[in-house]
Amino acid sequence: MQRNASTLYPILLVHGLFGFDQIGSFGLFHDIKQALRTCGARVFIPHLSVTHSNEARGDQLLAQIERVLEGTGAQKVNLIGYSQGALAARYAAAVAPQVVASVTSVSGPNQGSELADFLHRALIPGHLAEQTAEEVATLFADFLSLLSGSPKLPQNAVAALNAITTEEVCAFNRKYPQGLPKTWGGKGRELVNGVRYYSWSGTLQGNIGDEGINPLDPLNTMCRAFSRYFNTEAEQNDGMVGRFSSHLGTVIRSDYPLDHLDVINQLSGRVRRGIDPVELYVRHAERLRDVGL
Q: What is the DSSP string of 190-224?
A: SEETTEEEEEEEE---S-HHHHT--TT-HHHHHHH
Of 11-20, 146-155, 179-188, 211-220, the range with the lowest mean pLDDT is 146-155
Give the pTM. 0.86
Q: Among 233, 246, 202, which Cα is nearest to 86's?
A: 246
Q: Which residues contact 5 (CB under 8 A, 6 or more apart)?
A: 36, 39, 40, 41, 282, 285, 286, 289
Of 39-43, 122-126, 266-270, the range with the lowest mean pLDDT is 266-270
Please confirm, yes or no, whether 120 is among the known catalytic residues. no
Q: Which residues pair with residue 80 across a beta bridge?
A: 13, 104
Out of 30, 52, 120, 260, pick the active-site residue: 260
Q: Which residues pair with residue 251 across a beta bridge?
A: 199
Q: Among 254, 282, 244, 227, which Cα is nearest to 106's?
A: 254
Fold of domain 11-290: Rossmann fold (3.40.50)
Residue length, the chain?
Answer: 293
Domain boundaries, the chain: 11-290
Q: Among 47, 52, 105, which Cα is nearest to 254's?
A: 105
Q: Which residues pair with residue 102 across a beta bridge?
A: 78, 196
For 194-222, what is each residue's pLDDT tens digit?
999 999 999 988 765 555 554 556 777 77
104 φ/ψ angles, rounded to the nearest 5 degrees:
-120, 125
Please confirm, yes or no, whether 245 is among the known catalytic residues. no
When pLDDT is averaged across residues 267-275 and rounded to a whole number, the result is 57
285 φ/ψ angles, rounded to the nearest 5 degrees:
-60, -40
Q: Which residues contact 198 (CB under 8 A, 6 or more apart)?
A: 102, 103, 104, 105, 190, 248, 249, 250, 251, 252, 284, 287
Residue 198: count of CB within 10 angstroms of its CB: 22
For 59-114, what is each residue's pLDDT tens digit?
999 999 999 999 999 999 999 999 999 999 999 999 999 999 999 999 999 999 88
pLDDT range class, residue 156, cuts 50, 70, 90: confident
Average pLDDT of the chain is 82
Q: Which residues contact 192 (CB under 8 A, 6 or more apart)?
A: 97, 178, 179
For 179-188, what is each residue's pLDDT tens digit?
999 999 999 9
Alpha-helical (H) ranges within the chain are 32-38, 54-72, 85-95, 114-122, 128-148, 157-163, 166-175, 208-211, 218-226, 277-290
Cα separation, 183 vs 166, in Å, equals 16
Out of 238, 245, 254, 262, pick the active-site residue: 238
- Per-residue CA distances from 149 to 142, 144, 154, 217, 288 (Å): 10, 8, 15, 27, 31
Out of 49, 83, 150, 245, pick the active-site residue: 83
Please confirm, yes or no, whether 260 is among the known catalytic residues. yes
